[in-house]
Amino acid sequence: MKIFTAQQIREADAYTISQTPISSLDLMEKAAIACTAWICRHYSEDTPVYIFCGMGNNGGDGLAITRLLRNRGYDAHAYVLHHSSKTSADHTANRQALQQQYPSAIHDIPENGLLPRPDAHALIIDAILGTGLSRPAEGWTAAIIDQLNELKAAHHIVAIDIPSGLQADASSLHTPVIKADQTLSFEFYKLAFLLPENAGYVGEICILPIDLSPDYIAQTPSRFNITDTVQIKNIYRPRKPFSHKGTFGHALLIAGSEGKIGAAVLSAKACLRAGVGLLSCHIPKCGYEIMQISAPGAMCFIDDQKDHSSSFHNHIPNAAAAAKYKTIGIGPGLGTAAGTCWAFEKLLDHYQQPMVIDADALNILGGSPALLDKVPAGSILTPHPKEFERLFGKTANDMERLQVLSDHAVKRHLHILLKGRYTAMAFPDGSIWFNTTGNPGMATGGSGDVLTGILTSLLAQGYPPEEAMLMGVWLHGRSGDHAAAECSEEAMIAEDIVEFLGKSFLQLRKDHSC
Ligand SMILES: NC(=O)C1=CN([C@@H]2O[C@H](COP(=O)(O)OP(=O)(O)OC[C@H]3O[C@@H](n4cnc5c(N)ncnc54)[C@H](OP(=O)(O)O)[C@@H]3O)[C@@H](O)[C@H]2O)[C@@H](O)CC1
Ligand SMILES: Nc1ncnc2c1ncn2[C@@H]1O[C@H](COP(=O)(O)OP(=O)(O)O)[C@@H](O)[C@H]1O
Ligand SMILES: [K+]
């Protein structure tokens, strides 16, 4: 699914109006009908509804919603805030329609006027500012936002299209923004919804289709996108009947150190469960029995060292030897001992195929820019926010961090995924894809190690890195969702994500039964 900028959404609007029989007022009516239906599904008829409307089309939506809620028997009132002397045509048309049917439902609040005090249990609808926001809210507008936010403890706030004050495509850090419990947005996710710094403003998100031109959507490129199940189903390659373990690649996993062998085990189990043909794990001596017992499907190389690994580079003594392993996954629980850093550098001297780099391997790269330059093109890097900061430095806000993420992916020809609620996956072509599967139950030690195993497995099976990244992150989140559904977000642990990988794969299969 594409994420369009506010400018592109305006163009989609204009295109739809000019190329189809749908008028701009029809679009507003469709948007209002969809919002009203959602509100009626979630709040009973006896809920008083206070709809705060701005002077533009977002306010127009609010006026139309007021009329439609009244038609359904709700005690809905529109409070029109005169923050601007200009009014949009569709705002005016909807004001007239409301005035005609329900004149007592309109309340004008002049600039610097006072807001009404909502009844107990009233629902507050924020239709003040939408994607037409041209600058951060200040003065009276900022004061209104602050006052409505103070009501949040006692009232639900539903934002129409985007919480007022939130910029769709730029950071809104340190500016006044409505803190909505729910955002009902039209046709597209806005980029701002996916950034952790806006989590307190957006609340739950529901995207409502309003029939914008499918032609415009198809032909307009977007830098930011969201992965969906259909796309992952198209990436997924079912196994052919005559395939054998050689078909699905041999992966080398370099992970674990004393006290963190569990990370290596989780990665190995995930790698096997995600379908790799053969897996060899390089681990320090202290992990040998643990690994053999926990993951009998994996072969083991034991390092000379007891508590960390420092000789794994010997598997790739020259460029020709690299062919033995379709890919390498390195990092979970690896530690950053001097010998490990040294061996990692030696490994990168000869291994030039795309690999998966995670956790301590990223921390090692963070301490050595020269080493980062040696990472094979096409590799997948999997930092969480702290590892990202160690790798690429601090950023002022989440928008800037996305830019830095993308810049490094382009400059170094890497696939870099920044983990989080909506993991952001940056591609060498400058595009960024967001994943929406997954849940807070995955905020538990070892979840990331599982992801590394999955990605390593998919690369070994011959999925190109871009497909491995999209599919691996989707599978990881979907398996976490299955685990949460089965045993709760609280009780699920990283191993459960591995256990439910099978159910996620089954979801990707097309039914070919005769
Ligand atoms: N395709 C779709 O998705 C559809 C979208 N639709 C809806 O249209 C919405 C976009 O409407 P829009 O373009 O009229 O802009 P909107 O957000 O109402 O704000 C503009 C007004 O705010 C003002 N203003 C701006 N910044 C300000 C500030 N900081 N502080 C104070 N004032 C500020 C600005 O006046 P200014 O002072 O800048 O001259 C102007 O008066 C969209 O979010 C969705 O709800 C649906 O109706 C149908 C299909
Ligand atoms: N709230 C959340 N919603 C969705 N996914 C989450 C959430 N919290 C964590 N995750 C996922 O869980 C994984 C955690 O990885 P990481 O922080 O590296 O864990 P660890 O280092 O313990 O293995 C990431 O893939 C992340 O996207
Ligand atoms: K709004």
Please write the tens of the pLDDT for every residue from 130-139.
999 999 999 9
Residue 512 has pLDDT above 60, yes or no: no
Average pLDDT over residues 144-151: 96
Check: CB of residue 420 under 8 Å from CB of residue 383.
no
Counted residue by residue, the chain has a size of 514
pLDDT for the residue 513: 58
Task: Indicate the pLDDT class of residue 246, thresholds 50, 70 and 90.
Answer: confident
Task: Please identify, by atom number, the ligand 2 atom nearest to the C-alpha of residue 445.
Answer: 22
Check: CB of residue 416 under 8 Å from CB of residue 405.
yes
* Most informative mutation of 25, 82, 84 for ligand 1 (most atoms within 8 A of CB): 84
pLDDT for the residue 479: 98
Q: Which long-range contacts (CB under 8 A, 24 or more apart) does 336-342 make?
A: 336/360, 336/363, 336/364, 336/367, 337/257, 337/305, 337/308, 337/310, 339/305, 339/308, 339/309, 339/310, 340/257, 340/308, 340/309, 340/310, 340/364, 341/367, 341/368, 342/310
- Whether 161 lines ligand 1, by a CB cut-off of 6 Å, is yes
Task: Please identify, by atom number, the ligand 2 atom nearest to the C-alpha of residue 477.
Answer: 5
pLDDT digits (tens, 9 = 90+) for 65-78: 999 999 999 999 99
Give me ligand 3 centre to Cα 395, in Å: 28
10 Å Cβ neighbour count for 374?
Answer: 15
Amino acid letter, residue 467? E
Task: Indicate the pLDDT class of residue 510, thresholds 50, 70 and 90.
Answer: confident
Handedness of CA 487, 490, 495, 501 (dihedral sign): positive
Residues 6+ apart with CB under 8 A from 312: 254, 282, 301, 303, 343, 347
pLDDT for the residue 139: 95
Task: Please identify, by atom number, the ligand 2 atom nearest to the C-alpha of residue 358.
Answer: 18
Q: Which residues are annotated as a binding site for (6S)-NADPHX?
A: 57-61, 130-136, 161, 263, 333, 384, 449
Average pLDDT over residues 381-401: 97
Check: CB of residue 6 under 8 Å from CB of residue 168.
yes
Task: Please identify, by atom number, the ligand 2 atom nearest to the C-alpha of residue 440.
Answer: 1
Task: Indicate the pLDDT class of residue 306, thresholds 50, 70 and 90.
Answer: very high
Partnered with residue 50 across adjacent β-strands are 77, 124
Give me ligand 1 centre to Cα 59, in Å: 8
Q: Which two tokens stand for residue 337?
A: 């001992």
pLDDT for the residue 514: 63
Partnered with residue 78 across adjacent β-strands are 51, 106
Torsion, Cα of 108, 113, 115, 117 (10° steps): -110
Give me ligand 1 centre to Cα 99, in Å: 21
**Average per-residue pLDDT in the chain?**
96
**Which residue, judged by its Cα, is nearest atom 45 of ligand 1?**
58
Check: CB of residue 158 under 8 Å from CB of residue 123.
yes
Which residues lie with the beta carbon below 6 Å from any ligand 2 atom? Answer: 384, 419-421, 423, 438-440, 442-443, 445-449, 451, 476-477
How far lies 36's CA from each of 61, 80, 175, 483, 500, in Å? Answer: 10, 18, 29, 34, 38
Task: Return the CATH architecture of domain 252-508.
Answer: 3-Layer(aba) Sandwich (3.40)
**Which residue, judged by its Cα, is nearest atom 21 of ligand 1?**
56
Check: CB of residue 57 under 8 Å from CB of residue 28.
yes
Average pLDDT over residues 290-311: 98
**Which residue, judged by its Cα, is nearest atom 8 of ligand 2?**
443
Closest CA to 379 of 459, 278, 477: 459
Task: Compute the distance between CA of residue 471 and CA of residue 312 in angstroms, rounded to an integer.
Answer: 28
Task: Compute the distance between CA of residue 201 and CA of residue 185 in angstroms, rounded to an integer.
Answer: 13
Task: Please identify, by atom number, the ligand 2 atom nearest to the C-alpha of residue 449.
Answer: 23
10 Å Cβ neighbour count for 247?
Answer: 12
Rounded percentage of the chain residues whose pLDDT exceeds 70: 99
* Most informative mutation of 362, 437, 439, 447 for ligand 2 (most atoms within 8 A of CB): 447
Side by side, which strands form the sheet with 204-208?
Answer: 106-109, 76-81, 49-53, 123-127, 156-160, 182-186, 204-208
Residues of the chain with CATH 3.40.1190.20: 252-508
How far lies 96's CA from each of 60, 66, 89, 103, 167, in Å? Answer: 11, 12, 11, 9, 29
Check: CB of residue 65 under 8 Å from CB of residue 127.
yes
Helix H segments across 43-175?
Answer: 57-71, 89-101, 139-150
Q: Which long-range contacts (CB under 8 A, 24 or more apart) does 219-223 make?
A: 220/2, 220/4, 220/8, 220/11, 220/12, 222/2, 222/3, 222/4, 222/8, 223/430, 223/431, 223/432
User: What's 194's DSSP letter?
Assistant: G
Range with the poorest average pLDDT among 120-124, 305-309, 454-458, 508-512: 508-512
| Ligand at shortest distance from the CA of 453 | 2
pLDDT digits (tens, 9 = 90+) for 431-487: 999 999 999 999 999 999 999 999 999 999 999 999 999 999 999 999 999 999 999
For the chain, the first-to-last Cα distance in angstroms comes to: 32
CA 312 to chain CA mean position, Å:
34
pLDDT digits (tens, 9 = 90+) for 7-62: 999 999 999 999 989 999 999 999 999 999 999 999 999 999 999 999 999 999 99
| Ligand at shortest distance from the CA of 162 | 3
Give me ligand 3 centre to Cα 36, in Å: 15
Task: Compute the distance between CA of residue 246 and CA of residue 271 in angstroms, rounded to an integer.
Answer: 15
- Whether 244 lines ligand 1, by a CB cut-off of 6 Å, is no
Partnered with residue 204 across adjacent β-strands are 182
Give me ligand 2 centre to Cα 311, in Å: 30
| Ligand at shortest distance from the CA of 476 | 2
Owner of token pair 């029809």: 26
How far lies 63's CA from each of 6, 225, 233, 252, in Å? Answer: 22, 32, 42, 61
pLDDT for the residue 46: 96
Task: Compute the distance between CA of residue 408 and CA of residue 429 in angstroms, rounded to an integer.
Answer: 11
Residue 512 vs residue 134, higher pLDDT: 134
Q: Which CATH number fits domain 2-222: 3.40.50.10260, 3.30.565.10, 3.40.50.300, 3.10.580.10?
A: 3.40.50.10260
Q: Which two tokens stand for residue 110?
A: 């002049």
Strands 432-434 and 424-426, sheet pairing: antiparallel
pLDDT for the residue 13: 92
Average pLDDT over residues 192-202: 97
- Whether 9 lines ligand 1, by a CB cut-off of 6 Å, is yes
